[in-house]
Chain A
Amino acid sequence: EAQVTQNPRYLITVTGKKLTVTCSQNMNHEYMSWYRQDPGLGLRQIYYSMNVEVTDKGDVPEGYKVSRKEKRNFPLILESPSPNQTSLYFCASSMGTSGRMGTQYFGPGTRLLVL
């Protein structure tokens, strides 16, 4: 089954404790992206990757890191989480080359609470 998976689905952590949220897709998609969704602010893009070893900032990259060492995986790293990073996070992937993206496939989401 074609899908985007995220782990963990729920996470409670404390300020400053590094964490990684994994994202994996099995559709051989070039493009992958991370979003956060907050009430009243909607979905905002954090980082995206056009292909392996190619990443770029979205609209809200502060406090986050990403890497794309393999085509199927695109982990989101919070080096020192803070309470304002409490949010619902989504990973997405699509076919696409040279910035020409197609239909976006979303993961189920990771709900993060930073105390």
Chain B
Amino acid sequence: KQEVTQIPAALSVPEGENLVLNCSFTDSAIYNLQWFRQDPGKGLTSLLLIQSSQREQTSGRLNASLDKSSGRSTLYIAASQPGDSATYLCAVHGSSNTGKLIFGQGTTLQVKP
């Protein structure tokens, strides 16, 4: 059974720092992996989607990488800003032709001015 883990659960950094969020999964047979942002009391917003055949995706200050063989993905945030404060979740879509999506428990990021 696929399990998705995100460490650390919480992270606090000063504004301007570059940072890396981690996501690991137990079954490397995945179709894609997505990173989401969730603000308190709000829904999830998709940030990046990486297909299993891709190594990385970039959007603005965000870069997500995928290493299927080691079961790991990272989300790199450059030059962090207070507006980046939120919970970041990763979710794995398995490749067994199902509609199941497995989420990690998220990393709550606080960027201090």
Contact = CB atoms under 8 A, between A and B. Distances in A.
Interface stretch (B10-18, B66-74, B78-86, B103-111): B103-111
Interface in B46-87: 46, 49
B47 to A, nearest CB: 10
Interface residues of B, number: 25
Contact of B101 (A45, A98, A108, A109): A45
A101 to B, nearest CB: 6
Given A90-B43, A109-B42, A104 B98 contact: no
Contacts of A40: 105
A56 to B, nearest CB: 6
A104 B100 contact: no
A106 B45 contact: yes
Interface in A59-105: 59, 90, 92, 96, 98-105
A24 interface: no
A71 to B, nearest CB: 15
A50 B99 contact: yes
Contacts of A41: 105
Contacts of A104: 34, 36, 44, 46, 91, 101
Given A107-B43, A109-B42, A99 B98 contact: yes
Interface of A: 31, 33, 35, 40-45, 48-50, 56, 58-59, 90, 92, 96, 98-109
Q: Which 5 A-B pairs have the closest CB atoms?
A: A48-B99, A42-B105, A99-B97, A43-B103, A106-B43
